Structures are given as structure tokens and as C-alpha cells.
Amino acid sequence: MVRLLALAVVAVLIYLLIRAVIAGFVAGVRGGGGRPGGSARALRNELVKDPVCETYVPRRSAVVRTAGSATYYFCSPACAAKFKASS
């Protein structure tokens, strides 16, 4: 009886492992990365273009300024100041 119970537990664990691997693969194909919040992480890591020097910087490390309803991303405070002076 103990062997049957142990076999059932092992079977359930194998089933859950296979299910998790398949779910992770499907989420990776869809772009989610298999992690909760994968899309949010992708947005933070997205490259944005500085309108002054036209370099690309990761959104998470960019200097952010808003003007009206537009949001601008800069590589440095110096570029943000140049943009503000030219506006």
C-alpha cells in the first residue's frame, strides 16, 4: 500500500513538472518569458531614443521629462537641459 501511495505521489510530481515546463515554453514563445510581470520587465528594458543626441538608452536608466502630454527620454541631464533650452 505504501508503494502505491509513493508511486502516486511521484506520478503527480512528474505531471506537475511537465506541466510547468510546457507552460514556461508557451509563455516564452508568446513573449512573456514564463515569469509573472515579464512584459513589465520588457518595457523597463526597452531602448528609447534621446531626441537631442539621438542615442538609445534603456528606459529604466533614462532621464525622463514631460512637456504637455508628451514624454521625452534623455541619456543625461545635459541633453534634457539642451532640449529645454531649445524649446
CA distance 49 to 65: 13
Residues 47-71: tens digit of each pLDDT? 999 999 999 999 999 999 998 899 9
pLDDT score of 35 more than 60 = no
pTM, 2 dp: 0.52
Task: Please state, in angstroms and as integers, the Cα–Cα distance from residue 39 to each residue in 13, 42, 72, following that order.
Answer: 29, 5, 21
CA distance 32 to 37: 8
Burial class (CB in 10 A: 0-12, 13-18, 19+), 33: middle
pLDDT score of 34 more than 50 = no
* pLDDT band for position 27 (cuts 50, 70, 90): confident
- The predicted pLDDT at position 68 comes to 87
Place of cell 510546457: 22
